[in-house]
Structure 1
Amino acid sequence: MGADGLLVMHGGGPTAVINASLYGAVTEALANPSVGRVLGAIGGVGGITEGNLLDFAGVLASRLEMLPSSPSSAIGSSRKPLGPDDNVEIARALERQGIRWLLCTGGNGTQDTCGKIWRACREQGVEVDVVGIPKTMDNDIAVTDHAPGFASAARFMAASVSAMCADVHGLPAHVSIVETLGRNAGWVAAASSLADESGVCGPDLIYLPERDFDERAFLDDAQRLVDEKHSGVIVVSEGLHKAGGEPVATPLLRTERATYFGDVSAHLARLVISELGCRARSEKPGLLGRCSIAWQSSVDRDEAVACGREAVRAALAGDSGTMVGIERIASDPYEARLVRIPIERVMLEERCVPPEYINERGNGVTEAYRTWLRPLLGGPLPRFASFC
């Protein structure tokens, strides 16, 4: 078997635009005569070692055209932990299957795997060019301005919180605490700050894991809301922790790298009820914030497609051991370009919300963050009417 195949693999949690990147990569590769076969690894890295590969030549064009607007991962994904021997096994499997180019789509964990597979191929003398495609709703991949998947999650959060704020504003009877995904980075929680662009109101307080969480300060903030408004909307990130790193809510499960966070919003709602003696509710959109096609950002979708295409171009040019990144040129009007970043600068490096994007009290974000985020949402949020 000649080494003429280009293989796309997905890793980690899907997003609202991971299939858009797949679409960009597959259509770019199918149009290039130097690529003999365009393949997808079914179920992530396991698809490589088990030889469970989809040949896109047999997929109808009409089905491919559905990818940019399809949620989840059309070829599956995985969180399978890998050791040094696994990376060697993957390199050998790629060689056996005639793969010449490998594209790894995922977050910083998958980009770490991407880099290790690239190294294993070089060490084993396997001629495979490896390129990473960024993907994460958490937006915690290093170096790139932002990652495909984040803007759609941000749009979902801003829109959903705007509706919730309108609800609480219309019936000011309780404190509502909304918990977002995001692991150790608060990008998604911070995105709720744009909810006020609905024309009604936005969240009253936002707490990010980049600042140590002070329970007493939180209760004082919540008491002020109750005293002044009789209600309020508070957005918190799942990764909130106290000084010293202790999680606000006990994690449900820890693995080698992943943490299944405890129910932070429910914990804080109970705290408000017990300590302040007022009504409180917890809301946890969870995976809905990651997979929602209804709130997909057009900017996010277009950039995801472009990243997939650029990854193919980088691979075919022999620019191996790189990840496609997004470099912002301007915010108003928005302008960005794609760059190729050495994968070793990205591997398992977490990019958190910088201090200048968090307000002094640590219970909200600055206008600088809002300016940075606004052009990524793909157009204005719906406007609401209110007369009270």
Structure 2
Amino acid sequence: MLPDSLSTQVKVLGPTRFPNPLLQIRSTFVERDRVLLPSTLQELEPYLHREPPSFEMAGPRRELFFDPSTIACGILTCGGLCPGLNDVLRSVVLSLTYAYGVPTIYGFRYGYAGLAAKNGLEPLSLTPAVVEDIHTKGGTLLGSSRGPQELGDMIETLERLKVRVLFAVGGDGTLRGASALAQEILRRGLEIAVVGIPKTIDNDILWVERSFGFATAVEEATRALEAAHAEARGALGGIGLVKLMGRHSGFITAHASLANSDVNFCLVPEVPFRLEAFLGALEARLRARGHAVVAVAEGAAQELLPSSGERDASGNLRLGDVGLFLRGEISRYLQGCGLEFSIKYIDPSYIIRGVAANAADSEYCLALGQHAVHAGMAGRTDLMIGYWNGHFAYVPLALATAQRKQIHPQSELWQRVLGATGQPDMS
């Protein structure tokens, strides 16, 4: 269900008052254009006689809220590693420096922990020279962490350093933290903008058709599946079992399965399955074809595993290892069937997370960073840079974090997965 128009409105610190320095080199600017949320005739039908919901289009404005030559900006990265983090950092620094002439940019180390003075983590001074080649490396120059910090402590740091725009790069937990920070800043009447840049390798944030790092993750996951297929074909009763990332959403597993097209079983969190049905279907596949490839998202089949009840610093429930679980269950089942088999188990998670971004993601990260800078300079706050219906847009953080993006079992994507794998209904 599409949100109403009121919930798509982005907060603004105040009226714009300074000319944009880009006026000297750029001829086109965003005026009042907006990005429609509906994308099909069926979705548009209820709005034939009223304005459909829309997002404010991202891009540079002719006038700014801040005088860029007099302010400092800050940036931090939170959560797990993801291809493209350094690309985003570099884009923000280059855009602030060369497009807007911002003289001081702070890189807060290890996420929100670096913004809290009590932790004693001095920020890095970021310049074009510092970020010159970081996009060629995986990980994040600034380091990352999970978990919240005290709002007052972080705001004191921003005020002490005269930071007027903070860029927070992270997933849903990071964005919720950014929203809480932005709202407290507004409550105190301070002129500090908070702009989120959505980072989720799982591609599970709403109103972002493809999050950065996802294309790289699918590409690397496909390599793991190719290796699993080679191993499976090279043994009598060979089984290639690959566990991929995806706590709550199986987009990496689904898209890698489609890109590879050698996967026979694609298991994702959104589509529960009965263990007995899966094992029976796997046995039938081995008897008919002699080998099989299984791709499973890390969050799949958690209802079949014992739960420790433990949570990480972000509050996420610690998952059971579905890969090891399935390897054990497959072995026990096939031994009982008297079949000769060989399982090769591959878990490339941290290899995928830590690689540098591919070309498609690098270009995308550049655009996200540029649009984040445009938003901050124009005084937009409590928002993230989204991408919807082919356009970059400003999405209120409350809307972006309202729920998680997941694969719908009736979606075109999942129907294509079923067609490519040929797996039966195992519910």
Give the TM-score normalised by the residue count of structure 1: 0.82
1:211 corresponding residue in structure 2: 271
Which of residues 318, 330, 333 is equivalent to 1:275?
A: 333
| Distance (whole Å) between structure 1 residues aligned to residue 378 and residue 78 of structure 2 | 24
Q: What CA distance in whole angstroms lies between the structure 2 residues aligned with 1:250 and 1:229?
A: 35
User: Percent identity, aligned pairs only?
Assistant: 25
* Alignment counterpart, residue 18 of structure 1, candidates 85, 98, 103: 85
The match for 1:46 among 97, 113, 116 is 113
Partners of 1:111 and 1:348 within 8 A in 2? no
Deviations 1:114-167 (A, max 9, x none): 111110111122210111111111111111112111111111112221232133
Q: 1:282 to 1:170 in 2, by over 3 A?
A: closer
In structure 1, the partner of 2:74 is: 7
Distance across 2 between alignment mates of 1:36 and 1:72: 26
* Structure 1: distance between partners of 2:197 and 2:216: 17
Give the 3-state SS of the residue equivalent to 1:31 in structure 2: helix
TM-score w.r.t. length of structure 2: 0.75
1:254 to 290, 311, 323: 311
DSSP 3-state at the match of 2:380: coil
Task: Give the match for residue 134 of structure 2.
Answer: 67
Q: Give, in angstroms, the shift of residue 253 of structure 1.
A: 3.8
Q: Which residue of 1 aligns with 2:54?
A: none
Q: What are the within-5 Å matches in structure 2 for residues 1-388 of structure 1?
A: 4-33=71-100, 35-50=102-117, 52-57=122-127, 60=129, 63-82=130-149, 86-196=150-260, 202-241=262-301, 246-248=303-305, 250=307, 253-255=310-312, 257-277=315-335, 278-293=341-356, 296-329=357-390, 337-347=391-401, 349-355=403-409, 356-357=411-412, 359=414, 364-365=417-418
Is there any run of 5+ residues in structure 1 with no aligned partner, and where? 330-336, 368-388
Give the 3 Å change call, closer, same or farther, for CA 70–172 of structure 1 in structure 2.
same
The residue type equivalent to 1:211 in the other structure is V
The corresponding residue for 1:378 is: none
Pick the structure with greater CA Rg: 2
Q: Give how far 1:33 is off.
A: 4.6
Asked whether the equivalents of residues 232 and 344 of structure 2 are also in contact (C-alpha less than 8 Å), the reply is no
Supply the distance in 1 between the matched residues of 2:404 and 2:77 (Cα, whole angstroms): 19
What letter corresponds to residue 285 of structure 1 in structure 2? P
Deviation, structure 1 residue 251 = 5.1
- Aligned to 1:25, the other structure's residue is in SS state helix
Contact 1:138 1:188 in 2 (8 A): yes
Alpha carbons of structure 1 residues 248 and 125: separation in structure 2 relative to 1, 3 Å: same
Letter of the 1:156 counterpart: E
Structure 2 gap segments, 5+ residues each? 1-68, 336-340, 421-427
Aligned counterparts of 1:135 and 1:188: Cα–Cα separation in 2: 14
Q: Distance in 1 between matches of 2:306 and 2:241?
A: 14
- 1:168-218, Cα deviation, whole Å (9 max, x unpaired): 22434421211111111101111221343xxxx611110110012311111
Q: Which runs of 4+ in 1 moved over 6 A?
A: none
Match of 2:38 in 1: none
Aligned length: 342
